[in-house]
Structure 1
Amino acid sequence: MTDAVKTPWHLWVVGGLSLVWNAFPAVDFTLTNMQNAAWLSQYTEEQKAFVLAAPAWSNICWALGGFGSLLGSILLLARSRHAVSAFLVSAVGLLGVSYYQLVQNGDTLKKLLGDVPLYVNITIWVILLALIFYARAMKAKGVLR
């Protein structure tokens, strides 16, 4: 059986790059919550205390954001229409994390890490929105089934 719509070459490029990009938050979440000493050694004691004191709802949002995007990338490579849903779940998680970091604790985070969290958040949002729009376009063209 052949596919009705041929897979465009750019799906493999976008899917592969997004898989590499989205593996990081899954690894970061896992190693941080396992309190891996080598992973957390990049932080000062004050920064580490802040990161590890995050409330459960923020960690749930972090997990949804990170693992949702990782799953979205895998589903994109598998040409599944569910990639769109996974990326949208990731956006909900990212919204929660962004709120916790930038709204609820913006001043504290700025003192601890400067403007880096703001720029990282903006970058993640831009890439995630691009992935959502890309996956929706591929679904509309019938590439994702």
Structure 2
Amino acid sequence: MPDSRPSWHHWPVALAAILFYLIGTCDFALNQIGLDFYTNRFTEKQAEFLNTMPMWLTLVWALGTIGGLTGALLLWARNSFSVLWLFTAFAALVLLTVWTLAFTRPTLLGAMGVLGLYLMVTTCALAFLFYVYARWERTARKLS
């Protein structure tokens, strides 16, 4: 049974997680739909990078973003399943980052440059922190 009152920091962290994963989910959706106002900003190399991504890797990307948003919403609701979803999202984002750095042609670094690398590493770090926070809340019996 969870404690009846959440910690003072629960709501700001849960809201930050929702906003973080909402941005990622919107980016994923706009890329997959292929709306011109969004995809026209890509260079030729970036467009090739995104368009040649195998389907399974696109599904990993979806799991990292939509799964993370699901976990963040469950964290807001103080549900213990948020830990599983946030871990899954973190693992998916790490797999996506490592695979695109090492095995895709062009690589993440070649297509997006150093800024793209920093963005993905920062994304993985934040995903890890949200997972650790949810796990801590579950351990502290703040989640049901």
Task: Assess same fold via TM > 0.5.
Answer: yes
Larger displacement relative to structure 2 (112-121 or 134-143) = 112-121
C-alpha distance in 2, partners of 1:94/1:51? 15
Q: Which runs of 5+ in 2 are unaligned?
A: none
- State the distance in 1 between where 2:74 and 2:107 align: 37
1:23 matched residue in structure 2? 22
Shift of 1:46: 2.8
Could you tell me which residue of structure 1 aligns to residue 44 of structure 2? 45
What TM-score, normalized by structure 1, do the two folds share? 0.90
Give the TM-score, by structure 2 length. Answer: 0.91
Which consecutive unaligned segments of at least 5 residues does structure 1 have?
none
CA contact (8 A) 2:71 2:86 kept: yes
Residue 29 of structure 2 aligns with an amino acid whose one-letter code is: T
Pair 1:85-2:99 in alignment: no
- 1:140 is aligned to 139
Give the whole-Å Cα distance in 2 for the aligned partners of 1:137 and 1:111.
37
- In 2, Cα distance between equivalents of 1:107 and 1:50: 6
Matched residue pairs, number?
143
Q: 1:73 to 1:89 in 2, by over 3 A?
A: same
Structure 1 Cα separation of the partners of residues 36 and 142 of structure 2: 43
1:8-55 deviation digits (Å, cap 9, x = unpaired): 121100001111111011111111111111111220133212212110
Q: State the alpha-carbon separation in 1 of the partners of residues 118 and 40 from structure 2.
A: 22
| Offset, 1:59 | 0.2
- Using the TM superposition, give the Cα deviation of residue 106 of structure 1 relative to its aligned residue in structure 2, in angstroms: 7.4
Rounded to whole Å, the distance in 2 between the matches of 1:128 and 1:20 is: 12
Between the aligned partners of 1:114 and 1:126, the Cα distance in structure 2 is: 19
- Write the mapping of 1:55-134 to structure 2, written as runs, cut at 5 A: 55-105=54-104, 108-134=107-133
CA shift at 1:5, angstroms? 3.1
Q: Percent identity?
A: 26
CA contact (8 A) 2:64 2:92 kept: yes
Deviates more, 1:100-109 or 1:49-58: 100-109
Structure 1 residue 110 displacement after superposition: 2.4
In structure 2, the residue matched to 1:8 is 7
Please give the alpha-carbon distance, in whole angstroms, between the structure 1 residues aligned to 2:105 and 2:53. Answer: 13
- 1:135: Cα distance to partner? 0.4
After TM superposition, which residue ranges in structure 1, 4 or more long, deviate above 4 angstroms? none
